[in-house]
Amino acid sequence: MLGAVGGIAAVVLAAALVLRLPTLIAPALGLLGAEYATFFALRGDTVDVRAPLCGAAFLLVAELAFATLELRAGKPEAGLVARRVAILVIVALGGILAGALVLAAAAAPLDGGVALEAVGLVAAVGLLVGLGRVAVRSR
């Protein structure tokens, strides 16, 4: 079953690249994420410490897929491509660091409960709202 979900994700991603439909990239990555979540559900309670690496890999796949579809005019001057590659590497390393921080925070010895989950939910929603506000302000 996991293989089937992964296969569908790969087909959707290929369709996005071939048909030049950037809107299909997010669903493809979502399917890959769903496959990963199913893998956790089957695996049990142990925390997968490779998750930050997987997150960075997901981000790299997304960046490369969007870069393939982006309409970029003009021949880049010398050094521009190297800068782009360097930024991608930094983004990937930053992604690994962020994922590791999240896992480290999750491993903190805190008592669980509805209140803590509610705080987490509010924090997640707050993060998304905050990003939205920054996006609106930067227009």
Partner 1 sequence: MSREASPKVTAYAALGGLALIAALVLRRPELAALGAPFLVLLGAGLLQAADPELHASVHVGQDSLLEGDELAVEIRLRAARSVERLELALELPAGLSIADGDNPAAVHVAGGLPRIVPLRVRAERWGAFDVGDLTVRARDAFGLFARTGQVRTTASVKVFPRREALRRLLRPAETQLYSGDELSRRKGEGLEFADLRPFAFGDRVRRINWRASARRGELWVNEQHPERNVDVVLFVDSFAELRRGATSTLDLAVRAAATLADRYVRRRDRVGLISFGGYLRWLEPGGGLVQLYRIIDALLDTEIMLSHAWKAIDVVPARTLPPQALVVAFTPLLDERSVRALLHLRARGFNLDVIELSPLAFVEAGESESEQLAYRLWRLQREVLRGQFHAAGVPVAEWRDGEPLAKPIEEVTAFRRHARIAHA
Residue 134 is a binding residue for partner 1 (CB under 8 A): yes
Q: Which C-beta is closer to partner 1: that of 11 or that of 47?
A: 47
Binding flag, residue 8, partner 1 (CB under 8 A): no
State which residue, 5 or 56, has the beta carbon closest to partner 1.
Answer: 56
CB of 67 to partner 1, least distance (A): 7
What's the CA gap between 24 and 81, in Å, rounded? 26
Q: How far apart are CA 111 and CA 108, in angstroms?
A: 9
The torsion of the CA quartet 38, 132, 124, 122, rounded to 10 degrees, works out to: -140
37 binds partner 1 (CB under 8 A): yes
Give the residue among 42, 61, 55, 52 at the shortest CA–CA distance from 103: 52
Site for partner 1 in 10-29 (CB under 8 A): 22-23, 25-26, 29
Rounded least distance, CB 95 to partner 1, Å? 3
State which amino acid sits at residue 40: F
